[in-house]
Structures are given as C-alpha cells and as structure tokens.
C-alpha cells in the first residue's frame, strides 16, 4: 500500500464517512432486526468480502505465531464482537446523532490508552484540538442545549462501544503492529464474525428472522458490511499503522459530522449552530493532527 501521507489521511476520512453513515443505516433498521442478528448478517457478508480479497491477493502473508493468534483472538472479540453488539444494541434506544457524538469521544479514550500502552506523550496542541472538536460535536448534536444529554441505556451502550473500539485501535498498534493491516483486519473480522454468528444462534433466532427481513434491510446490511466494514476496516487500520492511533483516532470526530450530512441529504436541514459545530470539529481535527497553513510552515522554517 502507498505511504503517501495525504492519501492515508484520505483513507482515514473515507472510513469515518462509512462509519458515520453506518449510524444512520443501523438506526434505520433497528426496529426490524435485533442486535446480534443484524451484526451477524453484516459480518458474515464482511467475512466473505475479506476472504474474496485474500483469494485474489495471492501473495504469501506473514507467518503468525501462537502468541499472535491469541492477540488476534482477543482483539477480534473486543473490537468486532464487542463493538458491534454494543453498537446495534445502542441504536435501538438512542438516536443516530447521539450515538455518533459518544463515539467522537474515542480520541480522548485512545490517547489515554496510548499514554498507558505506548510510548506516547499527549501534547498541548492535541489537548486543544480535542477540546475544540468536542465542543463542536456537542453543538452539532445538541443544537447548543447541552442539557439535552443524559446517560440513557442506549448512551451507556455507546459509551461501552467507544471504550472497546479505542482499546482495539491502540491494541492493534501495541500487540499486533508487526502483522500487515489487511491480514490483521481479515483475522479480527473473521474471529468477530464467528463470535457474532454463534452468539446470535444461541441467544436469538437468526435462521428464522433473516429470511423474513425486508429487501431494504438486507441492502442496508450489505452496505454496512462492504463499505462500513471491509473498506472502512482496511482504510482505518492502514491509517492507524501509518499515523499512529493517537493521530488517526482524532479523525473520528468527523463521524458525527457525516452522520449529520446524511440526515441533511435525507431532508433534515441543519441549524446554524450545527454548521458552526461542524466547522469547530474540522478545525479541531486539523489542530490535533499537527496541521498548519503552508505560510506558517514557511515562516517556521
């Protein structure tokens, strides 16, 4: 894969768009399908996608040691099974935008994990950018009325999803940094998919539910599997490996912005405060990533 920094950032932003639209998609089908069944179908499709990529890839991959397999097993259960079960469960009782806001807290959580697990020192400009982005996200979601936020059951599930996703991102760098991103993604998705399917078979009735779902629900799940899982995971993990989790995860602040933009495309007009919030989010992401205008870089040099 390319090491071009602008292209890597583009891949990270694309993955946040896929995930941002996933909140809208998941919320749209929440009333028709239960959490484990939805997650199981989504990742069964995603698993097929990764296996097809491997089939056409053809080249040899890294030899995994027993320790690597244990790490991948843990990360697959945490980052794929844990996150997706919490994600679909949350969307049954909270809004897409509220869920996206909570996931935007991932940079803060990931920075804490990075400071603990990796040789990472949190710098002042990162604190500043994260605070600005968090304020922007809060404006986007609440319309300026911060009192609207409360810890409901759906919000609590999304907080758990945020926690396990951040641990998955940082853990991939700490414990599996030597495993190529595509190989890592395929293994963790495969493990998570198997766990989701087994859990669905034990707890729910997917073999009865899935055939009765509407065509539109299957189409949404296919989108969430191909773009929101296969391409998003590949792009995101490439960004994590190239940029480091403490930087790549900051772009997660774009997720609620894309969720809002999808709402706009569906006919929901944003308030002026929501537009201001999007500007703050983008500004916070740029500051936290260390970006400076070209002029200031020339002056500094």
In tens, the pLDDT along 60-118 reads: 677 888 888 999 999 999 999 999 999 999 999 888 887 887 787 777 777 778 777 77
d(C-alpha 273, C-alpha 182), whole Å: 40
Q: With 50 as the cut, is the pLDDT of residue 230 above it?
A: yes
d(C-alpha 235, C-alpha 219), whole Å: 22
In tens, the pLDDT along 52-62 reads: 988 887 776 77
Instruction: Using the CB atoms, write b or e for 101-131: b if 16+ within 10 Å.
Output: bbbbbbbbbbbebbeeeeebeeeeebeebbe
Cβ–Cβ contacts within 10 Å for residue 270, how many?
16
Residue 175, burial from CB neighbour count under 10 angstroms (0-12, 13-18, 19+): middle
- Asked if residues 143 and 269 have their Cβ atoms less than 8 Å apart, the reply is no
Domain map of the chain by residue range?
A: 5-119+148-266
pLDDT computed for residue 271 by the predictor: 63
Structure tokens at 217: 């629900």
pLDDT computed for residue 46 by the predictor: 95
d(C-alpha 93, C-alpha 105), whole Å: 19
pLDDT computed for residue 171 by the predictor: 86
Confidence band of 298 (pLDDT split at 50, 70, 90): very low
**pTM score > 0.75 for this model?**
yes
Comparing 1 with 276, the larger pLDDT belongs to 276
What angle is formed at CA 260 by the lines to CA 239 and CA 293, rounded to 5 degrees? 50
Q: With 60 as the cut, is the pLDDT of residue 300 above it?
A: no
pLDDT, average across residues 189-207: 95
**DSSP per position, 35-49:** HHHHHHHHHHHHHHH
């Amino acid at each position: 894969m390319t090491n071009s920094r602008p292209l890597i950032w583009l891949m990270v932003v694309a993955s946040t768009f896929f995930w941002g639209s996933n909140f809208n998609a998941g919320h749209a089908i929440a009333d028709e399908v239960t959490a484990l069944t939805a997650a199981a179908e989504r990742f069964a499709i995603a698993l097929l996608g990764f296996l097809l990529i491997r089939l056409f890839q053809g080249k040899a991959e890294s030899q995994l040691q027993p320790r690597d397999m244990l790490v991948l097993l843990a990360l697959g259960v945490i980052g794929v099974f844990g996150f997706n079960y919490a994600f679909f469960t949350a969307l049954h009782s909270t809004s897409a935008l509220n869920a996206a806001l909570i996931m935007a807290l991932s940079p803060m959580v990931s920075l804490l994990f990075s400071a603990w697990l990796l040789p990472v020192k949190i710098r002042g400009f990162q604190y500043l950018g994260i605070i600005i982005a968090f304020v922007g996200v809060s404006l986007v979601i609440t319309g300026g009325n911060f009192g609207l936020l409360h810890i409901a059951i759906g919000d609590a599930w999304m907080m758990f999803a945020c926690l396990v996703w951040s641990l998955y991102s940082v853990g991939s760098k700490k414990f599996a940094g030597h495993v190529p991103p595509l190989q890592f993604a395929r293994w963790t998705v495969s493990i998570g998919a198997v766990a989701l399917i087994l859990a669905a078979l034990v707890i729910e009735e997917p073999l009865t539910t899935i055939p009765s779902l509407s065509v539109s629900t299957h189409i949404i799940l296919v989108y969430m599997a191909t773009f929101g899982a296969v391409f998003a995971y590949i792009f995101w993990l490439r960004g994590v490996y190239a940029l480091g989790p403490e930087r790549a995860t900051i772009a997660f602040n774009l997720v609620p912005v894309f969720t809002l933009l999808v709402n706009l495309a569906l006919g929901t007009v944003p308030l002026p405060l929501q537009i201001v919030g999007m500007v703050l989010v983008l500004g916070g992401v740029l500051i936290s990533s260390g970006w400076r205008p070209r002029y200031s870089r020339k002056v500094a040099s």
